[in-house]
A and B are shown apart, each in its own frame.
Chain A
Amino acid sequence: MKHNLTLIIVGLLVVLLLFACSQQKATSPTEALATVQLEEEIVEEPQKLTVMTHDSFDISDNVLAAFENQENAEIQFFKAGDTGTAVNKAVLSKDEPLADVFYGVDNTFLSRVLNEDIFEPYDSPLLTQIPDVFKIDPQHRALPVDFGDVCLNYDKAFFEENNILPPQSLTDLLKPDYKDLLVVQNPATSSPGLSFLLATIGFFGEEGYLEFWQSLTDNNVKIVDDWETAYYGEFSRWGGRYPIVVSYGSSPPFEMIYAEEPMDEPPTAAIVSDGSCFRQIEFVGILKGTKNRALAEKWVDFMLSKDFQEDIPLKMYVFPVNENSEMDETFVNYLAIPEEPVYLDPELIATNRESWIQAWTETILR
């Protein structure tokens, strides 16, 4: 009996603690305001729209509420896993679509969705505000929403302490100064890993990239399977041994924004010289067979509009394609956007993905 009582008390205490903490901190005020707004305006039945996304999708309450109020709509989100998994699910369910709109396919998977023909074309009026370099699908079945660059990141403190100049380009990585300093992800299992491989293929060409990787192996490059292990496990900023890691161009400013204590400048920096980053672009499309075409079009327009685009960076860690959107000060100061990132044709990627990864695996791991 005594033990039962102790246990119940401990259990109750834990639950009470959790509830107490949740009472103290108020939920964001905009959320409360949005609820009030929604309640006031329910005149007729709101139209429903389902949007399928990958797991990294995020949006601010107030931005979403503004759209829902304006169009008298109710949006249901489905999260379908990482990019590749979500794409596969969208493709396999194309005869009985899971949603009206699918967001999250990137340029490495674009060819797959276009060949499987899961989208309906839509010529959004907002496409005029987007630079042509992002409009990879001329038929506008997949419309660009955001972009991110996969770049090498390095730990500033390490290079300062050891009095070494940080590498400035891909070819620098082959110098003996940078032996044992680089950690990279496996392109077979990691999206940034694949992007970095594609960057090297873009920079050195299909004939030269394997030689580059062979030299990297001679320089003792460390390979791991996923971004989390590389970044939080092996990167010297987080206690590992390697001061150079493959990550995103946005990682340094985010280190600053999500730091525990306010910082003056990011502790890391990205290498953005010509040809050393790979540009990932993410697309949205209206799924074939949707019964809410009109509302789906409005949603796509909304995703391309200034309001949503400006909300993207702090939510999804990627950047807007709409050239009229303004960026947060931190980004303007500390985000280095490469002028000449590597672009590769999605059809080329789709056709050669397997052979490139296989060649890479044989060079590196055998």
Chain B
Amino acid sequence: MKKKIIFIQAQIKNHLVSLLWLVPLAFLLIFYFFPLSKILGISIGRSESGIIAPFMEAIRSSYIRKVIGFTFWQATLSTIITLGIGIPGAYLLARYKFKGKAMFRAFTGIPFVMPTLVVAAAFNSLIGPRGWFNLVLMEIFNLNTPPLTLTNTLSAILIAHVFFNTTIVLRMVGDFWSHLDPRIEHAARTLGANRWQTLFRVTLPLLMPVITAAALLVFIFDFTSFGVILILGGPKYATLEVEIYYQTISLFNLPLAAVLAIVQLLCTLGLTIAYTRIVTRFTKPLSPISRQVTQRCLYSWRSRIFAVVLITAMLLFFTLPLISLAARSVTRLEPDRGQHEVTSKGLTLEFYQELYINRRSSFFYVTPTRAVTTSLMYALATVVITLALGIPASLALSRKTNSKFNRFMDPIIMLPLGTSAVTLGLGFIVALNRPPLDLRTSPLLIPIAHSLVAFPFVVRSLSPALSSIQPRLRQSAAVLGASPGRVLRTIDFPLVGRALLVATIFAFTISMGEFGATALISRPEYPTIPLMIYRFISQPGGLNYGQALALSTILMLITAVGMLVIERFRIANIGEF
């Protein structure tokens, strides 16, 4: 009898871990699967020629096939280049200590937050037809036409993607790498391997879980990219997301749009399943080592040159457009008559001052301070929600890697990232229309929508870190008398504390950058900074354009400060490790 009770108790404990999925699963069911299935159902239901017809139409159309092909192509190229720049950068951040490291990380993280229109304006002021580069080149070589034409090319798309997304690789890989035991590499070297052999046969395989996680996130972002394709790519380049927008909004061809959204989802699903296969093969639990041990100062000349070259190149690439933007927000925009220059002489704070003036007595006017506060409140709400969802999910994923349920849930988490924002936005309209869930016009929907995007980031940041903790550490603690809760508090959290901070930073920046939330109904009394920027930049006139630039600069500053504050969070030894 007693044996049976103990047996049952053990079974229950075994399955308790799966209970961790309760909250995340409920959230996904209510706010993702329910709206998505409803809008897809309604869309396909509108098809006049039956359910199969739109699918056939999509398969037969060579244009659609080309669009899908191009979407993959540009996403693959972008991801490869992002990894190519991000991994050396991650190495620098992981293995070396140097002054201004936190600032460097923050600067490379700001692009993630900036609205695409603003980034396009920044790039334009640098490499546009009358941007600095072209003006200088024309001066030096006495040319009549600007030599650099990068707008509306594939290169522009790739550059923008790298600009936005490198920070994902830098933070995720950098953090994980900083806890990797260097002695494994040292052992390989003593056994006769040279630097490159160690890199390819020891280090990179150990980093595989986090590199694939980062690559997956970057790829999905590039795959579903909308603003960059539209603004920097132009009409010649159409991806699935652009096509879905066109079919839904312009043509109201909901059946075809639904089919394309399903195709997009299936591609995401396929990629995520491939990812989980790779990761389970490569995950090796090791003891994470404190950064105090793994990081060293830049002693050798080789490392110093490497650091200087890489830091300069990256800072130039990431901050130059932003500095150019900030500079334009304080210079007079009006070119002098007869001189077609980018900027005119004269510094001015008038755009910032103008932000505080409600010159036309608009009812919808809000001060920048109010918009900043609103954005920060939404960001805080998003952080809380995503951590509440992401921590249980990551714990469940790392505890029982062989559970069938885990293997099923892992790809499911990533689906919201690969879902068309237009479709999901409409899904909210048709699904959340009855109390107690009539949230269609509620400001609460905004942090919820942000959380759908940020939650996969949290899980992908925390899971590799949690999985890399040797089970024996936990087992030793348990043997010494710690309850499961105590083990969590004293073993897991301090060791993955930094990964937790990385996850928080992602949630914060995703919310500030307002991904996809423009697909929702907005309450004009709670405007966010990106919404206000769009309002200014979509109207003619110097004062409007200048105010858009000024607000963008404010967004940059607030985000940078926010990221730096989160990084310095020091409670319960989180972040110290």
Residue contact B249 to A85, C-beta cutoff 8 Å: yes
Question: From residue B247, how far is it (CB to closest CB) to chain A in Å?
Answer: 9
Query: Could you say which residues of chain A place their CB within 8 Å of the CB of B535?
Result: 55
Residue contact B249 to A314, C-beta cutoff 8 Å: no
Count of chain B residues with Cβ under 8 Å from any Cβ of A?
89
Number of A-B contacts (CB under 8 A): 213
CB-based nearest B residue for A268: B540
Comparing A124-132, A205-213, A218-226, A319-327, the segment that makes contact with chain B is A218-226
Q: How large is the interface on A (under 10, 10 to 19, 20 to 34, 35 or more residues)?
A: 35 or more
Comparing A17-25, A273-281, A336-344, the segment that makes contact with chain B is A17-25
Question: From residue B534, how far is it (CB to closest CB) to chain A in Å?
Answer: 8
Residue B367 at the A interface, CB < 8 A?
yes
Q: Which of B363, B372, B545, B568 contacts A60 (CB 8 A)?
A: B363
Residue contact B231 to A188, C-beta cutoff 8 Å: no
Residue contact B430 to A92, C-beta cutoff 8 Å: yes
Residue contact B360 to A232, C-beta cutoff 8 Å: no
Question: From residue A7, how far is it (CB to closest CB) to chain B in Å?
Answer: 6
Query: Could you say which residues of chain A place their CB within 8 Å of the CB of B561?
Result: 7, 10-11, 14
Residue A203 at the B interface, CB < 8 A?
no
Comparing B48-56, B330-338, B388-396, B467-475, the segment that makes contact with chain A is B330-338
Q: Mark B347-377, 1 if CB is under 8 A from A, else 0.
A: 0101011001110111111011100100000
Query: Could you say which residues of chain A place their CB within 8 Å of the CB of B425?
Result: 81, 85
Q: Which of B356, B523, B543 contacts A24 (CB 8 A)?
A: B356
Q: Which of A11, A78, A112, A234 contacts B522 (CB 8 A)?
A: A78
Q: Which of B230, B340, B429 contacts A89 (CB 8 A)?
A: B429
Residue A239 at the B interface, CB < 8 A?
yes
Comparing A139-147, A258-266, A293-301, the segment that makes contact with chain B is A258-266
Residue contact B539 to A254, C-beta cutoff 8 Å: yes
CA distance A258 to B540 in the complex (A): 8
Residue contact B545 to A31, C-beta cutoff 8 Å: no
Question: From residue B63, how far is it (CB to closest CB) to chain A in Å?
Answer: 9
Residue B541 at the A interface, CB < 8 A?
yes
Q: A78-B441, A254-B540, A259-B334 are in contact. Are A224 and B130 (CB under 8 A)?
A: no
Comparing B120-128, B210-218, B266-274, B493-501, the segment that makes contact with chain A is B120-128
Q: A233-B121, A353-B250 are in contact. Are A225 and B545 (CB under 8 A)?
A: no
Q: Which of A64, A157, A186, A229 contacts B338 (CB 8 A)?
A: A157
Residue contact B524 to A79, C-beta cutoff 8 Å: yes
Query: Could you say which residues of chain A place their CB within 8 Å of the CB of B102?
Result: 3
Residue B319 at the A interface, CB < 8 A?
no
Residue contact A259 to B565, C-beta cutoff 8 Å: no
Question: From residue B256, how far is it (CB to closest CB) to chain A in Å?
Answer: 10
Residue contact A21 to B120, C-beta cutoff 8 Å: no
Residue contact A25 to B353, C-beta cutoff 8 Å: yes
Residue A77 at the B interface, CB < 8 A?
yes
Which of A52, A92, A188, A258 has the largest number of chain B CB atoms within 10 A? A258
Which of A188, A225, A229, A364 has the largest number of chain B CB atoms within 10 A? A225
CA distance A60 to B365 in the complex (A): 9
Q: Which of B362, B368, B523, B564 contacts A315 (CB 8 A)?
A: B362
Q: Which of A4, A96, A229, A258 contacts B539 (CB 8 A)?
A: A258
Query: Could you say which residues of chain A place their CB within 8 Å of the CB of B245?
Result: 189
Q: List 13 A-B contacts (CB under 8 A).
A: A21-B369, A22-B356, A24-B356, A79-B523, A188-B235, A194-B250, A231-B540, A239-B129, A240-B128, A255-B542, A261-B334, A317-B540, A354-B253
The 9 A-B residue pairs with the shortest CB-CB distance in the complex, in nearest-first order: A258-B541, A84-B249, A186-B235, A96-B433, A25-B356, A239-B130, A258-B543, A260-B542, A251-B540
